[in-house]
Copies of this chain bind each other. A is one copy, B any other.
Amino acid sequence: MFSKQQQKYVQSLQIKKYRQEHHTFLVEGSKSVLELMDSDFQVELLLCTPKFFEENEKKLKKILVEQISQTELEKISTLQSNDAALAVVKMKPNVSLQADSEEFVLVLDDIRDPGNLGTILRIADWYGIRKVICSDTTVDFYNPKVIAASMGSFTRIQTFYTNLQAYFEKISSQKPAVIGTFLNHENLHQFSFPDAGYIVLGNESNGISAIVEQLVTSKVTIPRFGHAESLNVGIATAIVLDNLMRRK
């Protein structure tokens, strides 16, 4: 039975402090939970409606499942409607990541909006990027809104949270290519990407910080043909990655 105490625990995971205390997070809705089942994340508890259970029983083996009503599910879910499932999942350790040869890694400098981070993960996954390094100030990967906006891509992207300055100082002897998006620099359409490296995207309002700017080895600009002042950071990520991948 789904107890009052369990309900309290699940709801507490909407808040970062409690996620960090328990090393667990929430995955909500049919699509995200089904993608979770195909991943190597460890599920602590799955709460789902009888209908979802019946339709997906084979995929749920060896998992602690509680069947609850849609009303109960929606009471503890951050989603407006959820007629399927909610999982409590163990976080992965924050392990350092690097770009292998012939690999590009995305670097996020202070992305604050959870919807933007989720969207960026989805785009990275579309373009075959597997690693994302986030500044310590970037919104929590395990925020339910990030998980939801990633549309299942959170299962396929490795993330590492760190101090970006310290990180790049540590790998400076490797002389990595660090590409950042700025205004009024080299036209992205003419830019020759190297074989591997790091692509930095900056904060929604302020762009790439002064400290991280000093670590950038190539400054590129998404060419503008009209009059909008700027592009959303998710849009900018997609355009840079599309240009990166078309070079092949």
**Pick the contact of A126 from B123, B151, B224, B234 — CB < 8 Å?**
B224
Complex Cα distance, B232 from A232, in Å, reads: 13
The digit string for A4-27, where 1 denotes a CB below 8 A from any CB of B, is: 000000000000000000000000
Give the residues in chain B near A234, CB-CB below 8 Å: 232, 234-235
Does the CB pair A235–B123 fall under 8 Å? yes
A residues in contact (CB < 8 Å) with B: 119, 122-130, 151-153, 156, 189, 222-232, 234-235, 238-239, 242-243, 245-246
Q: How many copies does the complex hold?
A: 2
Give the residues in chain B near A125, CB-CB below 8 Å: 226-228
**Pick the contact of A228 from B151, B189, B239, B246 — CB < 8 Å?**
B151
Complex Cα distance, B12 from A184, in Å, reads: 43
- Beyond A127-B224, A156-B228: 7 further Cβ-contacts under 8 Å? A123-B235, A124-B226, A126-B231, A127-B226, A153-B228, A222-B242, A242-B243
Complex Cα distance, B229 from A166, in Å, reads: 35
